[in-house]
Amino acid sequence: MKTELFKAESRGHADHGWLDTHHTFSFARYYNPDRIQFGALRVVNDDIVIGGEGFGTHPHDNMEIVSIPLYGALEHKDSMGNGSVIRSGEVQVMSAGTGVTHSEFNADATLPLNFFQIWVFPNEDNVEPRYGQQQFGFEGNKNKLMQIVSPDPNDEGLWIHQNAWFNMGTFDKNHTFDYAFKSEGDGLFAMVVEGEFEVEGQKLLHRDALGLWDTSSVHITSLSENARILLIEVPMF
């Protein structure tokens, strides 16, 4: 088994006033040649947006984009005609494909918004752009991983154009479980959303992450009450 530790404090950081953001991988003005990507996982941004502010209309192409609000409400509009608000407990995916423009704003005028924006390289270029959004019952499914993204339109959760699986779960203290890889040769990016975990003997604190590969399963233990973790399995090309 091989591992790579991504401590929360080692992430790139920018405070633009309206946006306080941390970048696990090189993004915008943050560049670290040792932090470009983890396999097909290209971007993990941890964004806090103040009330009423956001990202104006901008383009994307040939990228699978997953947005996960942690608290607050994310208002989305795009050139495909979609307009919606995504709240905590919901997940949004967008396949940029041949090209799409969109905007993202804090839907609340006063309360802050915190969301993960995650980019995954697609396994096929120039697909028709598409959008998906789904509510997940995270609160009612404690001590269980919930699959939120997969490569299969007929599988549980949303789907993207990549052999990647996203799972998230909230756990009681000292709950242990094993994550079994879906595909040989993949890597797992395990990020602590809240609380503390131990992943294959490595203690991870709030927003720490650990990348693991050259293994078929990963042993995980929650070290605090209501500990929440995000697991992203991707090809390690």
Q: Reply yes or no on whether the pLDDT at 127 is more than 80.
A: yes
The β-bridge partners of 104 are 55, 76
Token duo for residue 109: 């005028």
Domain that holds residue 30: 11-135
- Three-state DSSP class for 9? helix
Strands 186-194 and 209-213: antiparallel
pLDDT, averaged across the chain = 97
Nearest Cα to Cα of residue 236 among 178, 166, 163, 179: 163
Q: Reply yes or no on whether the pLDDT at 140 is more than 80.
A: no
Q: Reply yes or no on whether the pLDDT at 96 is more than 80.
A: yes
Same-domain check for residues 223 and 109: no
- Three-state DSSP class for 136? coil
Same-domain check for residues 65 and 131: yes
Instruction: Pick the last residue of a domain from 100, 135, 170.
Output: 135
Same-domain check for residues 16 and 90: yes
pLDDT of residue 160: 98
pLDDT of residue 237: 82
pLDDT of residue 137: 78
Same-domain check for residues 39 and 116: yes
Q: Is residue 5 part of a domain?
A: no
How much is the average pLDDT of 20-33?
Answer: 98
| Cα distance between residue 224 and residue 174, in whole Å | 7
Element (H, E) at 216: none
Same-domain check for residues 88 and 159: no
Instruction: Pick the last residue of a domain from 88, 112, 135.
Output: 135
The structural domain count of the chain equals 2
pLDDT of residue 117: 98
Same-domain check for residues 130 and 207: no
Q: Reply yes or no on whether the pLDDT at 139 is more than 80.
A: no
Instruction: Pick the last residue of a domain from 103, 135, 167.
Output: 135
Same-domain check for residues 16 and 84: yes
Q: Is residue 1 part of a domain?
A: no
pLDDT digit string, tens, across residues 183-233: 999 999 999 999 999 999 999 999 999 999 999 999 999 999 999 999 999
Does the CA dihedral 174-193-35-120 come out positive or negative? positive
Measured from the Cβ of residue 49, the count of other Cβ atoms closer than 10 Å reads 24
Q: Which long-range contacts (CB under 8 A, 24 or more apart) does 212-217 make?
A: 212/1, 212/2, 212/3, 212/187, 212/188, 213/1, 213/2, 213/39, 213/185, 213/186, 213/187, 213/188, 214/1, 214/2, 215/1, 215/2, 215/181, 216/180, 216/181, 216/184, 217/178, 217/179, 217/180, 217/181
pLDDT digit string, tens, across residues 141-196: 899 999 999 999 999 999 999 999 999 999 999 999 999 999 999 999 999 999 99
Nearest Cα to Cα of residue 146 among 172, 118, 166: 166
Same-domain check for residues 53 and 97: yes
Q: Is residue 141 part of a domain?
A: no
CATH number at residue 72: 2.60.120.10
Same-domain check for residues 72 and 180: no
pLDDT digit string, tens, across residues 181-196: 999 999 999 999 999 9
Strand order in the sheet with 41-49: 12-15, 19-23, 41-49, 113-120, 64-71, 90-95, 130-135
